[in-house]
Structure 1
């Protein structure tokens, strides 16, 4: 490679990194933390608390943050519950633990059990007691890990389109590339720097399908926060490494006697009902499965009333109301 070619490569790399940094700074200025940052042994966990009553913990899915819940669901619950929303490690305003911490990053990602422990410690700091733990999508796996870690101090579970059981095949080239070292160094900065707004909206539209994106949702959640380089790497590595952890967790599901409400859309093509929630309901001794006809991967937006009712039902089953 000539000196001129090398110089051009350096300039292009510098331009990409500059553009990525500028977009990240703009996103963080527009969407600052809405709760408090709690230090858990060197890991910052973002926690927000609203309302009063029995404790309800909300755990968001992949590529998201607590803002997915603060858009609508928190407001439906905070009149009768103390609602604790958290950003999962590496997403939103929560950091990833240092490499090697508590077994972290053995596969370059934090297992659901470690995420649960970090979030439990942050929840402990705000005085959580015997909560109803609600998990959506990837957050459903973390909610199950939460209950497995603290079976005697988890009032109930509510699982929304939860990734809970092993699935056939892999997750596709996108996650494989972005979870790799080369993809993290090359592909992710390009996405951060140049992903157009229309492409972001199209991705969110696919997640909501067959339902539409609610008015105002994109402005509220700030999808640009998910495009940050550290967030993309964390999300890709966590999702791409989830399956082996779910395989091991599934062996323990029959030991969970906690009341569980499971809601899953029949039109969910991202986390299919037949692969996840239907087998899960058979493994859990105290589960109630609700099939949401025609609903996709976002039941808490498509059928928020049914989700709110399921949380009330779980709280009653746990003796919390």
Structure 2
């Protein structure tokens, strides 16, 4: 497994932090959002999930979140991390929940950011089905995915941030085009195809999670519906705290990084009013919209669970 390991600084005031990215992504997505803001405060491990970024896929167990959670737990052992706050965005939320269930001894706490954790109505995009079909899928992944994906990369990343503005340098810094490589695209599609059946079964077990838990979501998320996933987690995990930030879409990790860090601090035992932090974030996000010179470009790709 490929990872960026930031060793524990001498004056750390937070537990170790393990970051799990979502679908169609790699470790740079969370690294760009959090590393600079947390430098000098904690040991950090940013992971390329099995079969994504520059990590090998491993065995068939890694096609489901539980197997990927186990792989991350083994990586923590290799890097000498005994216990950590597990931070999962989007698809990474299903893996974070699996980690809390399967490795409570390694779990300092759980932080879910716009998580995908519960069953949803409908299915997934057609190209994920095609990508995993024998022979036809190989041809599709090698001949069609790269040119089609590169054309859709701009509007696809805009859609992930919708209705909020995407950082101008997001594509340059986070390398989302890595998912267009044939083997990686196949792995990403396989993850998607198995997710719905997986969460139908596993979401029944979330009540067994005992670690301190915070869930941060936006009320404008059109990728992973907060009323199903985030509210479902808050219902299922006793003692968890749900923070809903008005006007935010699928990327609270970028739009409300300060709220996410405050949640890490609260999980670590520091007193924080996270609801008040969310209201301050809303005020900050609304302020630029009051300026008539600021124009937000909308996405052209509506729909739910396109990228989780």
What band does the TM-score fall into relative to the shorter chain?
0.7 to 0.9
Q: Judge conservation of contact 2:149–2:180 (CA < 8 Å) in 1.
A: no
Contact 1:51–1:79 (8 Å) recurs in 2: no
CA RMSD of aligned residues (A): 1.7
**Number of paired residues?**
266
1:221 to 174, 177, 180: 174
Looking at structure 2, the residues matched to 154 and 196 of structure 1 have their Cα atoms a distance apart, in angstroms, of 37
Aligned residue in 1 for 2:296: none
SS of match in other structure, 1:291? strand
Residues 120, 228 of structure 2: 8 Å contact kept: yes
Number of the residue aligned with 1:254: 207
**Aligned-partner Cα distance in 1 for 2:175–2:145:** 14
Q: Give the CA deviation at 1:317.
A: 7.0
How far did residue 47 of structure 1 move?
1.7
Q: In structure 2, how many angstroms separate the alpha carbons of the residues matched to 1:196 and 1:62? A: 15
The separation in 2 between residues aligned to 1:297 and 1:181, in whole angstroms, is 33
Distance of 2:270 and 2:120 partners within structure 1 = 30
TM-score (normalizing by structure 1): 0.79
Cα distance in 2 for residues equivalent to 1:283 and 1:187: 40
**CA-to-aligned-CA distance 1:213-271 (integer Å, 9 cap, x gap):** 11211111122211100110000110121111112211111111111000011000110
Residue 174 of structure 1 and its aligned partner are, at CA, apart by 2.4
Aligned counterpart, 2:258 = 305
Cα deviation for residue 284 of structure 1 reads 0.4
Q: Deviations over 1:98-123 (max 9, x none)?
A: 34xxxx2xxxx611111111111111
CA contact (8 A) 2:73 2:103 kept: no
CA deviations over 1:48-83 (Å, ceiling 9, x no partner): 111523210000000001100121311112221101
How far apart are 1:183 and its partner, in Å? 4.6
Instruction: Kindly report which structure 2 residues correspond to 1:54-73, keeping only aligned pairs within 5 A, or say none.
Output: 54-73=15-34
Aligned residue for 1:180, secondary structure, equals coil
Alpha-carbon contact 2:26-2:176 (below 8 Å) kept: no
Counterpart residue number, 2:6: 50
Matched, 1:83 2:44: yes
Aligned to 2:193: 240
Which runs of 5 or more structure 1 residues have no equivalent in the other structure? 1-44
CA drift at 1:197: 3.9
Identify if the C-alpha distance between structure 1 residues 274 and 183 changes in structure 2 by more than 3 Å, giving closer, same or farther. Answer: farther
Tell me, which stretches of 5 or more residues in structure 2 are unaligned?
272-308
